[in-house]
Structure 1
Amino acid sequence: MDFVLVHGTTQSPASWDRVAKLLSAAGHRAIAVDLLTPEDLPAEGYAQHARDQYDGERPVVVAHSGAGVLLPSIAEALDARAMVWVAAYIPDFAGGKTLRDEVQALFEPEWIGVDPTADPAKASEFLFHDCDPETEHLALDTLRLFAPAVLATHPAGPAPEIPSTVIVPTRDRTLKPEWMRQAARDRLGVTALEIDAGHCPHMSRPAELSGLLTGRA
């Protein structure tokens, strides 16, 4: 099985290294794509950018955090067999609201306006609070800002006809867990799986997250 791993807005593809190694050890292939480009692209442009970095067929596409905005486009471009939303924003397919429209409902109030890439202490507090010291050090090294305007303003199209799994970290300090659970039910028609972790379980709980990925795939 191939897994295409999509980084979120505050980390580089290196954030997936531990999960990728575990997936590879289990006999799968894992490709962490890099969405950073010299200039902002439309959603379809980022989907093609991901397509250019993947040479396989019918992967499971896994997106973290704000990359949920791009997950449907990337999954369709790669003819994905499944999508996995990890602590991720799920677009409002029926209502047409954008991520910007949903900031107050989606994010924990203390997170709004924080740039963790400019403040390691804030990154540790909000993103990596459940990491052991060694993992926290590694996680801080993955910090990188990826915040193109398309993430905030892209209107969702029709709900994709690709099976979805939603993984909600119960100790997330950035996205509200209850919002993610409700969005999974209302927007994707699925019941979310839960993981005892903060916003970045690929850093703090890589073995448990890898098990969920392979189990659902």
Structure 2
Amino acid sequence: MATYVLIPPAGSGPWYWHLLADQLRERGHDVVAVDLPCDDDSAGLAEYTDVAVEAIGDRRDLVVVAQSLGAFTGPLVCDRVQADLLVLLTPMVPAPGESPGEWWGSTGYAEARQAQAEREGWTPEQNDDPGVIFFHELSPQLVEEATANARDQSGTPFEKPWPLKSWPDVPTRALLCRGDRFFPIDFSRKLVSDRLGITADEMDGGHPVALSRPRELADRLEEIRR
């Protein structure tokens, strides 16, 4: 049995993981869905890490799964606890000394999104529409639930540099979604290769894949863990 430690994307709480958590528990695993203080303006990455470490407690056999902005917190957690594996899911892969706020410009994100919009023939309005970019795989009911459970995201974690000088000593994999419209797949492949020196694993699905494809995601995480 493993303990899956799930670190959410921006503006999200434990609810985001509830379908995936059910799938992992059905497979016999413990799950810690970390409740980050994302709407607290006094909390930055250091406080996010403290909350995650406290939630883990004395659990062992840890598989840390960190999605999107959560990829800035996941390695900090692995620098403080003994984890067996770190999986970065559709991640903002950090670089030493780079703040999350600087990440967008230093990675060429805006250019990648614009190139995607031109390929797809999206208007500027469509390129900013959550229904097009985030929720295209979700049922209307799940979109309604996701909207109801969304949380404010403080800008505080985006302000300070990522504090690690090097990647923590933990086996690391990246799992990308080929249908991700928020982090286009070609952009993410290059980011993972350039910053981690690895080839990412891939699956179908959009950015909120824990909601759209929880069973498939659980299967892929189990494959990676094994």
Q: Which TM-score applies when normalising by structure 2?
A: 0.82
Matched length: 206
Q: 1:182 aligns with which of 187, 190, 194?
A: 190
Query: What's the counterpart of residue 171 of structure 2?
Result: 163
| More divergent stretch after superposition (20-29 vs 6-15) | 6-15
Aligned positions of 1:1-150 closer than 5 A: 1-36=2-37, 38-55=40-57, 56-93=59-96, 96-104=97-105, 105-107=108-110, 108-109=113-114, 122-150=129-157
**8 A contact 1:91–1:156 mirrored in 2:** no
Larger Rg: 2
Change (3 A) 1:128 1:97: same
Rounded Cα–Cα distance in structure 2 between residues aligned with 1:2 and 1:91: 24
Most deviating of 149-158 and 75-84: 149-158
For structure 2, the residue ranges without an aligned partner over 5 or more in a row are 116-127
RMSD: 2.3
**1:213 counterpart = 2:216:** no
Provide, for residues 134-158 of structure 1, a one-character-per-residue CA deviation record: whole Å limited to 9, x for no partner: 3323322331122342235323521
Deviation (angstroms), 1:202: 0.3
Gapped regions of structure 1 (runs ≥ 5): 111-120
Change in 2 beyond 3 A, CA 1:52/1:148: farther
SS at 2:135's partner residue?
coil
Q: Secondary structure at the match of 1:68?
A: helix
- The amino acid that maps onto 1:31 is V
Query: Are the aligned partners of 2:41 and 2:156 in contact in 1 as well (CA < 8 Å)?
Result: no
CA distance in 2, matches of 1:203, 1:152: 29
| Structure 1 moving runs of 4+ over 4 Å | none
Which of residues 187, 202, 208 is equivalent to 1:200?
208
SS at match of 1:85: strand
User: Matched residues in 2 for 1:152 and 1:205: separation?
Assistant: 32
Q: Which amino acid aligns with 1:67?
A: G
* TM-score with structure 1 setting the length: 0.85
Is the deviation greater in 154-163 or in 101-110?
101-110
Deviation at residue 131 of structure 1 after TM alignment:
1.2
Asked if structure 1 preserves the Cα contact closer than 8 Å seen for 2:179 and 2:206, the reply is yes
SS at match of 1:49: helix
Cα distance per residue 1:23-81 (max 9 Å; x no partner): 00011111101111644334333212111112312411111111111111112223211
User: Matches of 2:49 and 2:64 in 1, distance apart?
Assistant: 11
